[in-house]
């Protein structure tokens, strides 16, 4: 049987079924394609958000590390100052001035002095 004879054997109903099956397959594949495209857009959006979050966290970490370095230097200076001048005549006056300038409420006159500035150890 030749190709020409084989084509004659296909009826219109058979051809209609093939076309309907192909149309259904095309519609299904288009729906799957649309769904996959949406998933890709969602994934890209999530990736962009994650990148922005990571950048923000990196900036926060850098700022915290810089703040920590400043605090370490300040604490070291306070320890040095206390060790160097803690027994001097003026240390209590300097400490009292610091506390008055830096505490929301100055300590009551009868409150015992701590002998060390807040934050220093």
**Domain definitions of the chain by residue range:** 10-102
Residue 85 half-sphere exposure toward CB, CA atoms < 13 A: 13
pLDDT at position 59 is: 98
Q: 12 in helix, strand or coil?
A: helix
Give the total residue count for the chain. 121
| Residue pLDDT, tens place only, 66-83 | 999 999 999 999 999 999
The average pLDDT across 24-40 equals 98
Mean pLDDT along residues 94-110? 77
Residue 121: is its pLDDT beyond 50? no
pTM: 0.49
Nearest residue to 86 (alpha-carbon basis) of 110, 117, 111 = 117
> d(Cα 68, Cα 51) in Å, to the nearest integer?
25
Please give the pLDDT value at position 102: 84
CA angle 43, 47, 53 (to 5 degrees): 145
Instruction: Give residue for tokens 């099956």.
Output: 21
Q: Extract the tokens encoding 52.
A: 């922005």
Tokens of 63: 């700022």
């Amino acid at each position: 049987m030749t190709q020409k004879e084989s084509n004659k054997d296909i009826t219109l109903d058979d051809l209609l079924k093939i076309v309907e099956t192909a149309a259904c397959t095309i519609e299904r594949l288009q729906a799957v394609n649309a769904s996959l495209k949406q998933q890709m857009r969602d994934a890209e959006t999530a990736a962009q958000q994650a990148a922005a979050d990571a950048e923000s966290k990196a900036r926060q970490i850098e700022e915290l590390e810089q703040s920590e370095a400043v605090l370490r230097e300040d604490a070291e200076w306070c320890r040095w100052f206390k060790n160097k001048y803690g027994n001097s005549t003026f240390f209590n006056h300097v400490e009292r001035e610091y506390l008055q300038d830096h505490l929301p409420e100055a300590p009551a006159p009868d409150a015992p002095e701590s002998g060390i500035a807040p934050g220093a150890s």
